[in-house]
Amino acid sequence: MQESNTQDLIFSFKPLISIVVPTWNTPEQFLIEMIESVLNQSYTNFELCIADASDQSHVKKILDNYADKDNRIKIKYLKKNKGIAQNTNEAIFISKGDYIAFLDHDDILAKNALFEVVKTINENQGVDFIYSDDDRVTEDGKKFFDPKFKPDLAPDFLRSCNYVCHLSVIKKKLLDKIGYLKEDFEGCQDYELILRVTEKAKKIIHIPKILYHWRVSQNSVSRNPQSKIYAYDSAKKVIKEHLNRLNLDGDVLDGKVLGLYKINYKITDSPKISIIIPNKDHKDDLEKCIKSIIQKSTYKNYEIIIVENNSIEQSIFDYYRFLEKTYSFIKVIVWDKPFNYSSINNYAVRFAQGEVLLFLNNDTEVITPNWIEEMLMFAQRDDVGAVGAKLLYPNNTIQHAGVIIGINGIAEHCFKYSNSDYTGYFARLATVQNLSAVTGACLMMRKKVFNEIKGFDEGYPEALNDIDLCLSLRKKGYLVVWTPHAVLYHYESKSRGFDTEEESIKRYNKELSLLYMDAQYNLKQKNKNSYDFKITRKLII
């Protein structure tokens, strides 16, 4: 056994990490590089457990040679090839570690991979599951590329694709409890296991560092997605069984890109949706918005509440009368105080008869007829706090695809100005996401949850009220969902204009300061994960 590295000494807990690898006729170069990447780890308390089903002699020769030199390497030779799942399980059977790390026979670990894992274990007592970012490495092992930077645990994104993948490290006690890899899901056995792990793990930590290098070869999915086409059908079965275990009723469909999936959750009880639209003048914009809702929406159980706020044009009052006379599900209420987006919406909720609220700007226009259903299927879930839509500028570029905290000093829409048909970084624009926040220009949530967090904070009259609302939801443990399948145009800030005048800038800075003060807390994801949330203050001028 190799002596402990000095880096090992900094840890109070030095768990044994069992790295399990199924090998089968692995090319000599790949096999050697895989083993060397393990032996070169800066953290040394590990064992490499290999289950080999090869029928090519060079593999046994290499494995025996390494096992003779280092007793941390344990080899189990199998009499027949049982497939990736069962071969991996055979490697787990000979393991003795506190945690199991999964490594493919032709891939490479970064030198600091186990060090970062053990550091995470020491810093997060009781962590059950750890995963890292990864990238790809060329066949000759010389070039690293295509880094995949992942989010922290995002359940809806994970149900859309196996974004976790490598490096995955699972506490052995949890693995023993839930069971090992299943052979009925060949090609996506790791996806099936990861979903089961997330269902039972009490603490999951994502390490935002590239610790795993995925080999690109002709027969690997990393290079040729068509090489294992059967895996995509297996993945839909995996997701469906995951939904069944969680008592979620939904159909699993192929997504826009191979390897992505879309779940159509069954909508229960067809609840009434209260669509709340603040408005001042801008009759043409409001009319376009209302018409698109009425003419295009396939979901019919809704009411529209227009909140009139100090309009001065006669045309808008004539339009109000027309709407209330023509449509029994439209009502106009009056907020005659100065504009305060938060106060206006809080006031409107008092009149809402629906159990689901949909906050909508007057400068929006529906594109996808099933936009309400696409949002409601998530908003109805107990673990979801808010749902946002994909919003486009009139030139069909993206205005909103979710909000990332920290951009531009506070928060900003991601993928802004990208073409509407762009699938995004690792297809993020083509899949349902869990994010920190979504815009209030089109935001759906259950009234019960809205009341639980006491609605919008009226200290934010113009800006950041939606960010504060979503962060309040996250603090309570609710998920924030963004879906690319509900699409609207957003003509952005027509009624209020942009924050360019001196008074507006002062007001924005005041709201920004309030959000900074509110933001010094830990965002905790319900029974799953915890996030340290801090923003470095930046002067807005």
Same domain, 189 and 130: yes
Same domain, residue pair 278 and 207: no
Q: What distance in Å separates the CA atoms of residue 341 and residue 456, rounded to the nearest whole number?
A: 9
In angstroms and rounded to an integer, the radius of gyration of the C-alpha atoms of the chain is 27
* Same domain, yes or no: 396 and 519: yes
Task: Give the pLDDT confidence score for residue 410 in this predicted structure.
Answer: 82
Based on the domain organization, do 203 and 312 belong to the same domain?
no
For residues 529 and 456, membership in a common domain is answered with yes
Q: pLDDT at position 462, please?
A: 86
Last residue of a domain, one of 247, 264, 281: 247
Residues 404 and 513 in one domain: yes
Q: 263 lies in a domain?
A: no
List Cβ neighbours of 406 (8 Å cut-off, separation of 6 or more).
535
Which residue range is the domain that position 437 belongs to? 273-533
- Hey, is 383 helix, strand or coil? coil
CB 56 within 8 A of CB 23: no
Tally the domains of the chain. 2
Residue 433 in contact with residue 402, Cβ under 8 Å?
Answer: yes
Regarding whether 371 and 480 lie in a shared domain, the answer is yes
Q: Which residues contact 452 (CB under 8 A, 6 or more apart)?
A: 476
**pLDDT for 187:** 87
Considering the domain boundaries, does residue 142 fall inside one?
yes
Same domain membership, residue 226 and residue 320: no
- Residues 6 or more apart whose Cβ sits within 8 Å of residue 77: 52, 60
Answer yes or no: do 318 and 170 share one domain. no
Q: How far apart are CA 289 and CA 361, in angstroms?
A: 9
Q: How confident is the chain (541 residues) per 10-residue block, as mean pLDDT?
A: 60 97 96 98 98 96 97 97 95 98 97 98 97 96 95 97 96 97 91 98 98 83 58 92 97 93 96 98 96 98 97 97 98 95 97 98 98 98 98 96 87 93 94 96 98 95 92 96 98 54 56 54 39 35 24
Helix, strand and coil content of the chain, in percent to the nearest 5, comes to: 35, 25, 40
- Give the C-alpha distances (Å, rounded to integers) separating 316 from 287, 304, 309, 341, 362: 9, 16, 11, 19, 12
* β pairing state of 46-52 and 17-23: parallel
Report the C-alpha gap between 98 and 489 in whole angstroms: 52
Query: Could you tell me if 50 and 38 are in contact, meaning their C-beta atoms sit under 8 angstroms apart?
Result: no
Q: Are residues 161 and 307 in the same domain?
A: no
Residue 238 located in a structural domain = yes
> What whole-number distance in Å separates Cα of residue 149 and Cα of residue 324?
50
Task: Check which CATH number belongs to the domain holding 203 and give it.
Answer: 3.90.550.10
- Domain-located, residue 261: no
| pLDDT confidence of residue 419 | 95
Residue ending a domain, among 247, 263, 291, is: 247
Residue 539 domain-assigned (yes or no): no
Partners of 100 in beta bridges: 18, 170
Indicate the residue among 212, 230, 247 that finishes a domain: 247
Residue 119 falls within a domain, yes or no?
yes
The whole-model pTM stands at: 0.89
Q: Are residues 217 and 295 in the same domain?
A: no
In a domain, 252, yes or no: no
Domain identity same for 431 and 488: yes
Residue 499 placed within a domain = yes
CA distance 408 to 404: 10
* DSSP sequence for 278-320: EE-S-HHHHHHHHHHHHHH-S---EEEEEEE-S---HHHHHHH
